[in-house]
Structure 1
């Protein structure tokens, strides 16, 4: 036989049993005593047994009431615990966030952000994935990650882009290269130089190629690097020069290399958060998005000064 008791009835029963008084229980529940009595009578009718022996002065549990009391307390405790967890989830204090990022972003931006959020929200778990731009967007579209941090994608009805920062490109050459001694160089300084380019799947190559085409600059392609780290190693071995976004420098072993700002024009890649339209982010993921937007809206020198305090 299935017994249908509501949480309200269980709570009313537990309060009367704990206080030994209908009057005190009614006050604790902020209901009238007649209303509380009706609730207990309905519960007893559903169970087919009396829960309390009562007269004008005393209230005592019947054997059935004694049997129900630990069950009622366990159910009420589990209910409170479950809804406490739900409340924490809705407030963004519990949950799990999965983020896919470009390798350069994963090194330059996310570790500090995740460390800060772990201190603030110790019950939120984080999974960080790295991927080139094209596979990253596929993971966002397929719903395999909560959101991605990557270059601005082409206009797409399925993706939402929220801008975070501009990542300027710089020249990377050996320290004994004549260009290494300059404070900045124009893109025309690349003309005719042996050039190490990016693989087609990454976010760097298309932007660099477009910049060279707009300036009508012809470079001498020598090699194509499979990763930014490999590109830096090739430059260090004297195989040519390359152009990288500043955030990617964290992936390069800098020994023997020089980094020179590129100007005339200043070219950068737009980095932001990409999520799938029509898919709601969890409260914890929304909190991480807000934190990243607020943190990265602060200029980098100010972020470094704040971190050193």
Structure 2
């Protein structure tokens, strides 16, 4: 007789992948208590500890890692079966609207939405600043939103699910500046350059200014504010200047080459990048599958090479 339910397996898988009970509960859309009870029930049934709780999150025991290997394909198979059944019952896939800060729209969403569009669905992406993203989701103009620092949402009717964290980089053109080794030397070379920063109203504007202050570059008076990545690249290519961007976005900006990126994880504020949805709205299986795929591809930020 099978005593462990499929739902409990899903909760365990989410905890293992998210690294904490609270992050898993946010991803699933249930309470932390429900997730804790599910893990306790599994451990009680198996008679062994699978998860070690700590101040920095959770770690799997050897037994937990082995159990995850078994559980992962079961949960994914069940999810695939459910999504396939929904597709067969509803062959006409409706349009899904995503509001997104421009940076995430450029480097995170293309791969994430590809499976949905290949299956015949339509995704429309609205490129907006963080305040507009919140408003669009809140007023049902979008099914979900992507923004930075969503843990500071303006409405308690919205829920923020963390995807990953990023750090700031300084970007300059190789056309004007060769690669400079050493932080102090680099900062001395660029201390008088004009600087491009995220525009007012974007989620990372204030943090970018804190970042500049921590580097001693806050006294630069010639600042250009923009939320357009192509515009930022155009400024860097035409004028000796700097651009302040999260590392993941900087690497995406540099996809064609020609730029130098300098990261500063030790002194840069963390940028929480995640998904925002309405608490009171039921999430359809199609949207849930799209959210799952966005989470799957969010490591594009962490995989961005360190300069």
| TM-score in terms of structure 1 length | 0.58
Per the alignment, do residues 291 and 183 of structure 1 end up closer, same or farther by CA in structure 2, a change over 3 Å counting? farther
Measure how far apart 1:274 and its partner are: 0.4
Paired residue for 1:127? Answer: 124
2:30 matched residue in structure 1: none
Retained in 2: the 8 A contact 1:179–1:185? no
Cα shift at 1:182? 2.3
Note the 1:141-156 alignment, pairs <5 A: 141-153=138-150, 154-155=152-153, 156=155
Measured against aligned partners, the alpha-carbon deviations of 1:41-91 in whole angstroms (never above 9, x if no partner) come to xxxxxxxxxxxxxxxxxxxxxxxxxxxxxxxxxxxxxxxxxxxxxx62698
Structure 2 counterpart SS, 1:181: coil
Q: CA deviation at 1:144?
A: 0.2
Change (3 A) 1:281 1:116: same
Residues 148 and 204, structure 2, Cα contact 8 Å, conserved in 1: no
* Residue in 2 that maps onto 1:257: 259
Unpaired stretches in structure 1, ≥5 consecutive residues: 1-86, 303-309
SS of the counterpart of 2:264? strand
- 1:212 paired with 2:209, answer no
- Number of aligned residues: 215
Match of 1:270 among 269, 272, 279: 272
CA contact (8 A) 1:100 1:149 kept: yes
C-alpha distance after superposition, 1:103-131 (max 9, x if no partner): 22112111112113334xx1433222211
- Verify the 8 A CA contact 1:170 1:260 in the aligned structure 2: yes
Taking structure 2 as the reference length, the TM-score comes to 0.59
Runs of 5+ unmatched residues, structure 2:
1-84
Deviation at 1:244, TM superposition (A): 1.1
The answer to whether the Cα contact below 8 Å between 1:160 and 1:274 also exists between their aligned partners in 2 is yes
RMSD of Structure 2 on Structure 1 (CA): 3.4
Is residue 2:236 matched to residue 1:235?
Answer: yes
Q: What is the match of residue 197 of structure 1? A: 197
Which residue is 1:10 aligned to?
none
Once the two structures are TM-superposed, the CA of residue 282 in structure 1 deviates from its matched residue by 1.8
Instruction: Check whether the contact 1:185–1:262 (CA below 8 A) recurs between aligned residues.
Output: no
Residues 200 and 225, structure 2, Cα contact 8 Å, conserved in 1? no
Partner SS state of residue 263, structure 2: strand
Counterpart Cα distance in 2 of 1:185 and 1:137: 39
C-alpha spacing 1:142/1:88, structure 2 compared with 1 (3 Å): same
Please report how far the alpha carbon of residue 268 of structure 1 lies from its aligned counterpart in structure 2 after TM superposition: 3.8
Tell me the secondary structure at the aligned position of residue 280 of structure 1.
coil
